[in-house]
Amino acid sequence: MIKSLDSFPDNVVALIAEGRVTRKDYEQVVIPNVEAALKRHEKIRLYYELGSQFSGIDAGAAWEDFKTGFEHLPRWERVAVVTDVDWISHMVKAFGFLMPGHVRVFGTAQNNDAKTWILEKQA
């Protein structure tokens, strides 16, 4: 399940994943939040935390994640992924160079650092 986090500015799509993430989560939470933010801002940021209860992602959700990310590629200003899941951390680091904006991975104990970073002004 993916939930939207409300304590972020309007240009930040903030999400937390808990349990198993499905295509339905992307269709009902992620995509509508991203599209709404893109209507309001030329560039947006993403804070995506995979909580301690995260147990995996199904193939349909992984495909939606890929499509959503690359469909709006030039409009991502900054992406913070908060996770202790090794394979996700490695994937983000391996493919982060494809993003025109800044991408960083933080461990779950660093979630406050990730929140601070996602909110920083661009230099």
Domains, the chain, in order of start with CATH, read 2-119 (3.30.750)
CB 5 within 8 A of CB 16: yes
pLDDT at 122 (0 to 100)? 64
Q: State the pLDDT confidence band at 90, using cuts at 50, 70 and 90.
A: confident
Q: What's the mean pLDDT in 43-48?
A: 95
pLDDT at 108 (0 to 100)? 94
Among the ranges given (39-48, 60-69, 87-96), the one the predictor scored with the smallest mean pLDDT: 60-69
CB-neighbour burial class of residue 64 (10 A; exposed 0-12, middle 13-18, buried 19+): buried
- pLDDT averaged over every residue in the chain: 89
